[in-house]
Amino acid sequence: MKSIALLVPLLLLPLAPGCDSEGVTPVSPPPPPEWTCDAARFNGSDGCDCGCGAPDPDCAGAGSADPGTGVDNPTCDACVDVDGEAQSCISVTAALEAAGFIVSPAGTSDDGAELYDLTLLQLNDHQDAESGTHEQHLTLVHRGFDLPMNLISTGYSNFLGFDEDELTTLLEGNQLVLDKRFHNGNGDDFSHFTRKQVADDAHDVVVRLHDLYTSAWLGSGFSNGGVDMVSFRRHYPDDVDATVAFGAPFLVPEDERFLAFFDTVDATCQDRLEAIQRAALGAQRSAVEPAVLALAADELGDTFTRVEPARAFEASALSYPWLFWQYFGTPDDCAGLPDPAVATAEELTSAFFSVTSIFGAYPMSDAYLSFFGAYFYEVQQSSGWPALPRAALVEEGLIPADLIDMERGLVPEGVTAPEFDAAENSALEEFARLGDGVAFVYSDQDPWAVGAVTPAARSGNVRFDVTSGNHLATFSSLSEPDKAALSAFLEANLGVEIP
């Protein structure tokens, strides 16, 4: 089977650099600096981000009136315009610092966009100054203060970094990737982990930057990040001008609607997946299980202390067909599946591991649970999770009836599992159907699309569907007519012309 890039390269994901926050009390964001330069005189996109000691493309080749050694030295606040006249302005770094961020310049992109690592100290409860704090680690691709901003949620911690999203490229604008509270070590007080507080975190960021980035704001996200951005729009409808959610599922606990998905895909391919699943759990288990677990240890560095290895293997086998359709599912992928009736144990192991190792940490391993623990808390608190076809496997004695699957998962160690907030869950789904300014994109072969929302005719939301696509579908996956329609939606809601 053709391999694809890891969706979440857990083992390569370092914690973002921290800061010494001792004695720091979060306050309301300061007002933006007063611009005294005339942007138009620089013949550039904003004219107010000239760096010291080097020409700035926004200044049409002009540089600092007082050259220094740093490209973006906030101590230098004088730039010259195209006529050679000094103009007082402030660097991007200084502007971001004035907005309350700790700023680390990270170079430039291939096309010259400025890259910044940002750290922001935020309250655990934005309505309670005594609630403690957590750090949010953001990444900014800056092209100009007067260009559109694409605000992105991954739904997890910030693993996207400076990788540019297709919508950012489409808008020829800026990009800011959000972090998410209590993921990857950035805070641990789960009594304050709610969808509203996650939305409050995003709102705090936008309030600090909205007067700096004065063009249109787009909110976008994939999968759980798409759900986050819909929730953000529900709570703060005026913070962004439009929202695009890719593959965003809306579901309830143990959602049985998902059981029927496997009857809608290619029957021959699904039969082969189930045959591999049963062989791995049954006749070939004695060979496949130890081989798979050895690969998890050797190639991924995984350990299994919280969930014993046999249960982790069973959980991955239960989700094997689901994962195949979620991330693979092309005719070539189906054609490459071995026939368990004649396949060797090595061939079955390869077919099994290539799918179940997609996250970069093996399902239910210690690393997997560490990364996804906060997500599983959210799943059990307000998001819900899909039911998986397990009844026949239990009846055949291939898995235990009480097996904890990798869709519900386990909350972090030492954290009490929350009660499900049915009211929040229902309100969010209703907003997705009846709200305004959201474009949903789903794929017909993505199992998560069973939880797709269909906007009501009277709403201002729209939906597009990718044919023969999976959970990794993006803007470029759409048909040409749908690309044009989504572009028109963005132009209308953002008030900008898309090149």
Distance CA 50, CA 470 (A): 43
For residue 195, which of 16, 28, 377 has the smallest C-alpha distance?
Answer: 377
For residue 320, which of 262, 397, 260 has the smallest C-alpha distance?
Answer: 262
149-153 and 174-177: which strand pairing?
parallel
pLDDT digits (tens, 9 = 90+) for 447-472: 999 999 999 999 999 999 999 999 99
Other C-beta atoms lying within 10 Å of the C-beta of residue 42: 26
Bridge partners (DSSP) listed for residue 242:
218
Q: Is the pLDDT of residue 62 over 70?
A: no
159-177: b or e for each residue (b if 16 or more CB lie within 10 Å)? bbebebbebbebbebbbbb
Q: Is the pLDDT of residue 323 over 90?
A: yes
pLDDT bucket at 85, cuts 50 / 70 / 90:
low
Bridge partners (DSSP) listed for residue 438:
243
What share of the chain has pLDDT > 90, as a percent? 80
* Mean pLDDT of the 18-36 span: 38
pTM of the model as a whole: 0.85
Question: Cα dist. 413→336, 347, 368, 373, 377 in Å?
Answer: 39, 36, 13, 8, 11
Helix (H) or strand (E) holding 219, with range, is strand 217-222
C-alpha of 127 from chain center = 26
| Residue at token pair 């787009």 | 218
DSSP 8-state symbol, 191 = G
For residue 371, which of 385, 358, 361, 384 has the smallest C-alpha distance?
Answer: 361
DSSP 8-state symbol, 381 = I
**pLDDT the model gives residue 82:** 47
pLDDT digits (tens, 9 = 90+) for 158-177: 999 999 999 999 999 999 99
Helix (H) or strand (E) holding 121, with range, is strand 114-125
Q: Is the pLDDT of residue 237 over 60?
A: yes
pLDDT digits (tens, 9 = 90+) for 384-407: 999 999 999 999 999 999 999 999
Q: Is the pLDDT of residue 90 over 90?
A: no
**pLDDT the model gives residue 496:** 96
Distance CA 248, CA 455 (A): 13
pLDDT digits (tens, 9 = 90+) for 336-348: 999 999 999 999 9
**pLDDT the model gives residue 129:** 93
Distance CA 300, CA 303 (A): 9
Q: Is the pLDDT of residue 139 over 50?
A: yes
Cβ within 8 Å of residue 416, ≥6 positions away: 190
Other C-beta atoms lying within 10 Å of the C-beta of residue 301: 15
Other C-beta atoms lying within 10 Å of the C-beta of residue 1: 17
On whether the CB atoms of residues 327 and 358 are closer than 8 A, the answer is yes
On whether the CB atoms of residues 93 and 75 are closer than 8 A, the answer is no
What type of residue is 340?
A: P
What type of residue is 14?
A: P
pLDDT digits (tens, 9 = 90+) for 216-236: 999 999 999 999 999 999 999
The mean pLDDT value of the chain amounts to: 86
Distance CA 219, CA 241 (A): 8
Cβ within 8 Å of residue 109, ≥6 positions away: 115, 141, 162, 164
What type of residue is 322?
A: W
**pLDDT the model gives residue 89:** 57
On whether the CB atoms of residues 432 and 250 are closer than 8 A, the answer is yes
* Mean pLDDT of the 475-484 span: 98
What 3-state class would DSSP assign to 486?
A: helix
**pLDDT the model gives residue 184:** 77
On whether the CB atoms of residues 408 and 376 are closer than 8 A, the answer is yes
What 3-state class would DSSP assign to 66?
A: coil
